[in-house]
Each structure stands twice: as C-alpha cells, then as structure tokens.
Structure 1
C-alpha cells in the first residue's frame, strides 16, 4: 500500500471496509487459536499478512490483528503496529529508536513511568532533557499534543524542525488528537503513538497501544521486535477494536464538536447560571492564542478541537467535590475517550499536579444535558450542598 501525497481525512469507508480480505465474513470472527497448521505453500515470514495461510503462531500474526492493523494504517496514513497496551507501545518505541537522550516535558504520567523503566534496563545512562533545551544528534523528542491534563496543543512543526536539524527523531503522542482532528505526519513527525483504549476503541473495554511509522521497512522492524518482546495485542481486544473502528468517525466528530471552553465568571457575578468565582481558568486548544512564532492550534487541529480539557477551580474543596457532584460524568477519568463523559480531580492520577485542577473528557451524550449537569454541580458546590 502506498501513502504518497495522502489526503489527510478520516474516511468512514476505510473504517468500515479497510480490512476486507480473504473469506466471506462481514463481521470478523473472534480468533482464539495460538498455533496454526502450516501448509506446504505457506509463508511463515508473512509479517502480519492478511492471507490466513501465512499465519503460523498468534504471537506473530493472526487474522483479526492483521485486519485491525490494515485499517489503522489506512486511516493514519502510515504503517501501523498494535500492542497489548499503550505503555507497551511506549516501551517498544524506545527500544526501536534507542535514543541517546530523551527530550520530554510534562504529559501523561504513564509515559514518564515507562521511560523510567526503560532507562533502568540500560547499561548506559539515558539522560532526560526538556523540550526547550538544546537538542543533540541521537536525541528523541517525545512530544505530546494535545497535552495531558490541560488539552493544550503544541507546535509539532516547530519541534520537528528543531530535532531534525540535529539528526534526531520526533515521536508525537497524538492520543488526545486522533483522526480526523490531527495528522502529525503532516507536520513532520517520524512516529505517531496512540493509546488505543481511548478514541480508537471508544468504549472503555479493551487495552491497545498503536505505533504508526512512515515506511514498510520501519513497520517490519517494529513487527520483529514485538514478536520477541511478546507484547502483541490479544485476539479479543483486536476483535473489539475492529468493532469500535467502524464508528470512530461518528464518535470523534460528535465528541470534539461539543465543547469550546467554559466561561470564566468573576466572583459576585453569574453567567448562564454558572456562579462566579468557582472556575478561575480553563485550558483547551480552542482557547490558546496564536503565539509569537505564529502557531495557530486551529490549523494543526484541522479536523476539530479535542474533546478533553481542564478547569482550574478556586478551592481544593471544589475540585474534590465537582466530579462526584456530576450525574452524567463518570468518576474517575483515569482513562478517557469513550462514549461516556468522565471527570477527575487530576491529582489523583498525577500527584505532582495542581490539586485545584479537574479534567473533563466529553462523550457522546447530548451536549445540553452535559452543560446543565455541569451548571447544576457548580451551583451546588458553590453553596456547599
């Protein structure tokens, strides 16, 4: 398959029909076998091929995993490999790139934990530097955009130019900006990471990590590493992911089109039923102003803004109570991106975060119901109810 000069859009046709291969099944069966009978004319080096006669062992490939990777490759305009979890994909990326140093600032706490685990297994030190530090040859720039927990965008093109100038590589964790919202390859990424449990899966019922690279040769390298690391995604999770991908374009567009920030209301005033002095700041890509380098998040987030953002409340008591005062938001939002809206005092995920910060992940519920729920809860906590 070729990805030269791609049209960057999320095709519902590819999501529904992108895995069509041998056989007559419309909905793929769950594959539970570990080994396969080897046929005389088969090819045990099929590298995850769709042809059932090329499968020899599920740790290498099997129908349902190969089908889901075919879809993911098409909709991400690259070559996708799936893993047992998002953090398994993080670790695999580190093994693949073997960075001399890792440049990273803030972001999902789980990625920092996986990086720490990776560096413990190295005989040579792997220094961690900041994104604003000077880069060197052999560095891996680890850029998360949009960013946990604020939902703000980072300038992918800027960091691509910066790291490529010294011969390094750029990995973009685009979990909070899935297709059709954002396409990191368009802005210079060398590798794209997704925690598949979130928007690709969308139903909070599976584990999956995804790495997408630019070439088939890179995919084969990742495939060989995965076969020997043993971190392939399970058959049931692969089957659930195929089911979920059929409606991804409908879910993500609905989720991202719902929210563009919550107004800051001064203390002593009220706006649209929201009491003043409770929310002091709102973070979201749509609220970022164009910076001095001309970065405009709406250009990078060409398919719509992310469905995840954060509120800064004026009192820790408010931040503790708000998630539990909501009726249409589940608690906690440890994971996100599903059809249900979630809320979380983020310090419960990352002890280093501000205890006043509450993150919200928007689902597919009716937007007015969510707004009314949030409005009611803010009134209640402001009155000490």
Structure 2
C-alpha cells in the first residue's frame, strides 16, 4: 500500500486517502483483466497503487487498490475486499481454521456460510454459544449491533473471554461502521463488514470487507483470495470508491434519524385505546435499539462503545401478525426490501428472509430522508394497518 497520508479527520481520509500517481480526480473504471508486463515487475498484488505492479486483475487492479487503501485508513487496520459479504465471511473461516465456533444469533447468512464451511471439513467443527466456556482454538464470531434487533453487545467482555484461552474474536460490525464504532479499540482481532450495506450505501453493489491488525495477516488473506477467486469486480470497486466519498455525511445522518425514530416509536408503546403523537396504542409492543439499552451488570454502556452515534437499523415488535405483514407495504418512503444501509429507508417483516425469526418483528433501516417525513409516513401506515385497511 502507498505511504500513509498525514493524520487527518475521517472525511478527509475518505476523500484523499487514496492518493496515487496520475491526474484523474475520479478514477476510470478499469475493464482490463490483464496488464502489460514490465521488466522486473512482480505480481505482488498487495494493494500497490503503482500501476506497474498490476499483473492480472485476480491479483489487483487500480480502483480496488485505491478502495482498500481508504478502507484501511478509516477502519484503523489493514483491509481487503471481497465479491460479497458472505464471500468475506467464508474467507475469514478459511483464514482462522477454528476448532470450534462460538456464535449466538445474528445474521442468518453468516450462519449459512459457517454451515457451508463446516460441510467441506474432514473434521467436525462444533458450534457453541457465546455464553459457553471457551477453549484454545475457538473463534468467537460476534455481532454488534445485532441483526436484526440493533442491540449492542459488549465487545471488550467477549474479547477478554476468548483471549483468556488463546482464541480469536471476529466482530461483524456491519450495523456499526465508522464513525459509529471502532472495534479494534475494544479488543477485536478481526473486523468483518458486509460492505454492501453502509460502505456501499446506495443499494447498487455487493461487497465484503475484512480488516485485520497487521499487513502480514492481510497478505495471508490476499493469497487465499487469489486462489479462492472471490475478489470484487472492477465496476463494484469503482462504485464503492464513489460511495466512500460521502460516507462521513451519510452515516451520521442515518444514525441521527434512526435514533430519533427508534426513541419516538418506543414512546408510542402505550395501551390500546390510547395514542402517542397520533400513533394508536396497542400496535407496537417493543422497540430494540442501542440507544434504548441501559448499562448492564458489568457496567457496559452502548453509548461508550458506539462513540460516533447509534445504529440506523433496528427492529420493532408489533402486536398482530397481520400488522407485521402489512406494514412494509403500507409505507411510502420506506422501500419494502431485505437489504439495508442505503440512503433510502427500508422495511421488512424479517420472517420473509429468515424463517427462524419472530413473525411479529419488522426491521427498519433508516436512510437520509427528512426525519419528519419518515415519522409522518410511519404514523399514517400504523394508523392504516390498525384499522384493517
């Protein structure tokens, strides 16, 4: 990777963290799969910005290298990209080769990737709970904030627990991207993101990201990626680079909107026959969100861990299945969709994607729209479904 630019704020890193040779302000989309060899060139492919280092796009190409430089800086580690979040999840399992995997709840896609990884193993890889006793060789697969509810978990607690036996902690921080949360500060060994969500931010690309603490670890991941063949395409890399330019503007706005709406909906949990701000009582029975959590017995306060603001994706529990089935399709400004993290808000009865989920649960991903319009939309839809319309 190119030399580090001087220390600067997040927004400046996102805009200028990929300085390299050439005069293009916005890089061209590279469509070449192979590059003209130069004397004494080498196929390092480790994210070098020097175009003469590029040999074959399975190793590296210019836009992906620029993206990985920025991701490394803003995540305070050494980043590598993949064709999708699940491709990154599978690659992390290959990298760590865990004897056992400790995981509880979270994104069903990662559970599927773990099951697929185990299927290809010649030896059993037991799955245990985060609350079980850990052993040497375990991988603690930890998600915070948690999908789909948006609750925060204590990273430091589980990092200390797994490190005490010589294991590793991988955190899925998809719901807590920079500047909201920096998991290395709390003891994580590896950070995983579905870059499809907040890093992409525009619902138009698939991407997975792994960040590790050392360049040597990243090099191992890169060698695996070369032969697994799960690198990002050129167009997706270009779209991601474009998206990173506004990440410091998008995510704080989504965080502020999401926190305000979650707290507003929580105040609407009132008995049937009453109402709060036009929302009929007895429709919403629970709201999960990091901002609504109280410090636990260990003194964990999500506000400290989420130093840049709370998550923009969270869930609500409705009182009737027909309410949960209708809500997403009764909204105007919320897209009924399964993905999240885009600039547009979305809503989903989570059961439609995860058959293990509570059928009363609706996940809301809050975008950058005007928060008053989102509130008006939710209020109108909740009134409508409560009347059976």
- For the aligned pair, the TM-score class normalised by the smaller chain equals over 0.9
- Alpha carbons of structure 1 residues 369 and 10: separation in structure 2 relative to 1, 3 Å: farther
Asked if the contact 2:43–2:59 (Cα under 8 Å) also holds between the matched residues in 1, the reply is: no
Q: CA deviation at 1:48?
A: 2.4
- Alpha carbons of structure 1 residues 121 and 278: separation in structure 2 relative to 1, 3 Å: same
Which of the residues 261, 273, 278 maps onto 1:268? 273
Q: Deviations over 1:179-234 (max 9, x none)?
A: 00000000000000000010000000001000000000000000000001000000
- Alpha carbons of structure 1 residues 246 and 371: separation in structure 2 relative to 1, 3 Å: same
Aligned mates of 1:41, 1:228 — CA distance in 2: 23
Aligned mates of 1:256, 1:286 — CA distance in 2: 11
Residues 273-352 of structure 1 aligned to structure 2 (within 5 Å): 273-332=278-337, 334-352=338-356
Asked if the contact 1:10–1:179 (Cα under 8 Å) also holds between the matched residues in 2, the reply is: no
Asked if the contact 1:48–1:55 (Cα under 8 Å) also holds between the matched residues in 2, the reply is: no
Give the TM-score taking structure 2 as reference length: 0.96
Residues 1-385 of structure 1 aligned to structure 2 (within 5 Å): 11-260=10-259, 261=262, 262=265, 263=267, 264-332=269-337, 334-385=338-389
Asked if the contact 1:142–1:172 (Cα under 8 Å) also holds between the matched residues in 2, the reply is: yes
Aligned mates of 2:375, 2:245 — CA distance in 1: 28
Aligned mates of 1:311, 1:2 — CA distance in 2: 45
Q: Number of residues paired by the alignment?
A: 382
Q: CA deviation at 1:43?
A: 2.4
Give the TM-score taking structure 1 as reference length: 0.97
Q: Deviations over 1:338-382 (max 9, x none)?
A: 011000000011101100000000001000000000001011111
Q: CA deviation at 1:65?
A: 0.6
The DSSP-based 3-state class of the residue aligned with 1:212 is: strand
- Alpha carbons of structure 1 residues 174 and 323: separation in structure 2 relative to 1, 3 Å: same
Aligned mates of 2:176, 2:123 — CA distance in 1: 34
Aligned mates of 1:355, 1:299 — CA distance in 2: 32
Question: What residue ranges of structure 2 are gaps of 5+ in the alignment?
Answer: none
Q: CA deviation at 1:47?
A: 1.9
Q: CA deviation at 1:41?
A: 3.2
Question: What residue ranges of structure 1 are gaps of 5+ in the alignment?
Answer: none
Q: Deviations over 1:77-111 (max 9, x none)?
A: 00000000000000000000000000000000000
Regions of 4+ moved over 4 Å:
1-4
Asked if the contact 1:191–1:211 (Cα under 8 Å) also holds between the matched residues in 2, the reply is: yes
